[in-house]
Amino acid sequence: MAVKDYTDSEPFLMKEADVQTKSRPHVRSKTAELFQIAAYALIFAYIIRVFFVQAFKIPTGSMENTLVIGDLLLVNKFVYGARTPENIPFTSIHIPQFRLPAVREPQPGDVLVFKFPPDPSVDYIKRCIAVAGQTVEVRNKEVFVDGKPFSSIKNPDGLKFEDPEIIPRNKGYEAVYPKDAGSRDNYGPVTVPEGSLFVMGDNRDRSYDSRQWGFVPRDYVLGKAMLVYWSTERDDVWSPRWSRIGLWVE
């Protein structure tokens, strides 16, 4: 009776089992590595968003034609000194905030993103007209800063006037700040207080700005508008405005 020799097959079976056993931790380590890479990427993106660059979308026409409804722009948060988060990430737990040193302060002519003073939960975008200590006046729609035309500081290509009517000083149709400051088209002079900014939209007749609700605290400034990276017709993401993509905000 023949006897079957297992001496050659047993080592093979043992080696195959060893390979299967060793492959499982290898798969687990690859999965863990992918999760680690994803976590690092999320942390990196969060740091970039908080301290350096954040994306915003233009929802109204108050900055036309410099910025139009549907523009998506990148905002430089680093230049004016970014603030640390108000809450622990992904929670509602408040933590102390501090601001990083600014590269420079906001200047007349800069396009700013800031917390809306009457409701800080809302972000607004306007052009800085004057800073603390400067005097602002509007005469028949023309803006003056310290007695000089604002156009000598900055004359935006997208500046727009929709209403041909010039509202007299004593015949305002809407509230102004302060209440005795005149009208939309004949306003001031008012002096910007310490730690504040005066802002206006480039669509001067259709902008709800410092003429109506007052000054922007410097601490409310989030960043400087930098670049239009995408633009669509209203909410139709499939109708890009190719001519606007890549425009620097001036």
| Active site amino acids | 62, 126
SS3 content of the chain, % helix, strand, coil (to 5): 25, 30, 45
Q: Is the peptide bond before 65 cis (omega within 30 degrees of 0)?
A: yes
Strands of the chain, DSSP E: 53-57, 71-76, 111-116, 119-131, 135-139, 142-145, 148-149, 187-191, 196-200, 216-217, 221-233, 236-240
> 162-165, long-range: CB within 8 Å, 24+ apart, which pairs?
162/203, 162/205, 162/206, 163/205, 163/206
Asked if residue 133 lies in contact with residue 145, where contact means CB atoms within 8 angstroms, the answer is no
Asked if residue 199 lies in contact with residue 216, where contact means CB atoms within 8 angstroms, the answer is yes
Question: What's at 226, amino acid-wise?
Answer: M
Asked if residue 109 lies in contact with residue 115, where contact means CB atoms within 8 angstroms, the answer is no
Question: How far is the first Cα of the chain from the last one, in angstroms, to the nearest whole number?
Answer: 98
Asked if residue 130 lies in contact with residue 189, where contact means CB atoms within 8 angstroms, the answer is no
Cα dihedral 144, 187, 132, 84, rounded to 10, equals: -110
